[in-house]
């Protein structure tokens, strides 16, 4: 039978579930450090498979940290105690994209649900390359360095995407710096929209699932996100009506706190959507108690059955 994610996208099924559990949380479950797994595709696959087996959600997301591509383009990154971008582009290059691809390849063989790889939107990646603050100032000061960085980031992501698509994995594009918590809808349209759309079109041309994730405030740009042509929109506020399937409904703080009543209330409201991937609004915090994630799965199944 076709997987749940595809059936929800086709509106043949109402609900799929994915608390956005990533490598940092899964590594902690196995007493491993993120630094250990983020540099090793086999270990990355192992922890993500363990997360899937533990919680039994409906997709797996290969995501170790936000700086894989930035590092491959020369940004210094430290992974311990938590992933940190140490500065803009320099000369040292440490390319972990091969490890991500290896992890995705292994997971495709080991799990029954769709495997997604998370990549950065060119706008966000460009902001890492020249430093977020300088990048944002360049956008409105008329200097061309931000635009050049976006083009450079897009070119890199097109090549990275080609390697992923050859494997036949689905792709989620995360573009948090393009959120309306940071930039205006006008700036989004001018600089972030088209590069995102180019990547989404490439994914869809291959018949794979394209997801777009932007956290923070997305309400002012939801109509534009809806026009991107993605199969899934992962956004914090899922109340605006869209033709694209939405993903979200449970706040990251709610899952971290483990308040059952609040979680039940959020899930109940989210399930008013005719079709939904019930998810957290952003990735599950590393230290989240395992029982909180299980609680989310159980509550969702209970409501859905009733």
Q: Which of 15, 192, 212, 284 binds other proteins (CB under 8 A)?
A: 284
Considering the rule CB under 8 A, would residue 136 count as an interface residue with other proteins?
yes
Considering the rule CB under 8 A, would residue 133 count as an interface residue with other proteins?
yes
Q: What tokens were used for 14?
A: 């109402």
CA angle 119, 48, 38 (to 5 degrees): 60
**C-beta of 56 vs 80, nearer to other proteins:** 80
The residue range among 10-18, 41-49, 54-62, 179-187 that interacts with other proteins, by the rule CB under 8 A, is 179-187
**C-beta of 106 vs 146, nearer to other proteins:** 146
Spatial CA neighbour of 23 closest among 110, 73, 82, 77: 82
Please state the closest distance from residue 165 (CB atom) to other proteins, in A: 29
Please state the closest distance from residue 287 (CB atom) to other proteins, in A: 5
**C-beta of 3 vs 286, nearer to other proteins:** 286
User: Restricting to residues 113-132, which ones interact with other proteins according to CB under 8 A?
Assistant: 132
User: Restricting to residues 6-45, which ones interact with other proteins according to CB under 8 A?
Assistant: 24
User: Restricting to residues 55-114, which ones interact with other proteins according to CB under 8 A?
Assistant: 81-86
Q: How far apart are CA 49 and CA 46, in angstroms?
A: 5
Considering the rule CB under 8 A, would residue 258 count as an interface residue with other proteins?
no
* Start-to-end CA span in the chain (Å): 23
128 CB burial (10 A radius; 0-12, 13-18, 19+): buried
Considering the rule CB under 8 A, would residue 261 count as an interface residue with other proteins?
no
Please, where are the H alpha helices in the chain?
4-9, 23-29, 34-38, 41-55, 68-72, 97-110, 122-130, 132-141, 145-167, 185-187, 193-205, 222-226, 252-257, 260-270, 290-305
Please state the closest distance from residue 216 (CB atom) to other proteins, in A: 5
Tokens 């960085």 — which residue? 149
How many other C-beta atoms lie within 10 A of the C-beta of residue 294? 14
Cα atoms in the 13 Å half-sphere on the side-chain side of 18:
27
Considering the rule CB under 8 A, would residue 182 count as an interface residue with other proteins?
yes
Where on the chain is the footprint of other proteins (CB under 8 A)? 24, 81-86, 132-133, 136-137, 139-141, 180-184, 187, 215-216, 220, 251-253, 256-257, 282-287
């Amino acid at each position: 039978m076709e997987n749940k994610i595809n059936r929800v996208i086709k509106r043949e099924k109402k609900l799929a579930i994915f608390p956005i559990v990533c490598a940092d949380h899964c590594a902690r479950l196995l007493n491993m450090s993120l630094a250990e797994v983020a540099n090793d595709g086999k270990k990355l696959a192992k922890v993500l498979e363990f997360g899937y087996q533990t919680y039994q959600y409906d997709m797996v997301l290969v995501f170790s940290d936000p700086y894989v591509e930035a590092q491959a383009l020369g940004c210094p990154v430290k992974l311990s105690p938590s992933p940190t971008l140490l500065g803009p582009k320099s000369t040292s290059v440490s390319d972990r994209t091969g490890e991500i691809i290896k992890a995705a390849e292994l997971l495709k063989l080991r799990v029954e649900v769709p495997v997604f790889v998370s990549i950065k939107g060119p706008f966000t990646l460009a902001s890492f390359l020249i430093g977020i603050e300088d990048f944002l100032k360049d956008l409105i000061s008329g200097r061309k360095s931000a635009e050049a960085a976006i083009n450079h980031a897009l070119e890199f992501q097109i090549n990275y995407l080609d390697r992923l698509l050859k494997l036949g994995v689905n792709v989620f594009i995360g573009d948090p710096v393009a959120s309306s918590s940071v930039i205006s809808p006008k700036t989004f349209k001018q600089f972030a929209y088209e590069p995102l759309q180019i990547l989404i079109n490439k994914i869809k041309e291959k018949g794979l699932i394209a997801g777009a994730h932007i956290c923070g405030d997305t309400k002012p740009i939801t109509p534009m996100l809806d026009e991107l042509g993605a199969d899934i929109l992962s956004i914090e506020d899922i109340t605006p009506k869209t033709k694209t399937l939405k993903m979200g409904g449970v706040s990251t703080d709610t899952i971290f706190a483990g308040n059952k009543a609040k979680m039940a209330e959020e899930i109940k409201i989210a399930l008013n959507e005719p079709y939904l991937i019930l998810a957290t609004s952003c990735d599950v915090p590393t230290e989240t108690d395992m029982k909180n994630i299980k609680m989310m799965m159980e509550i969702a199944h209970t409501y859905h059955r009733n």
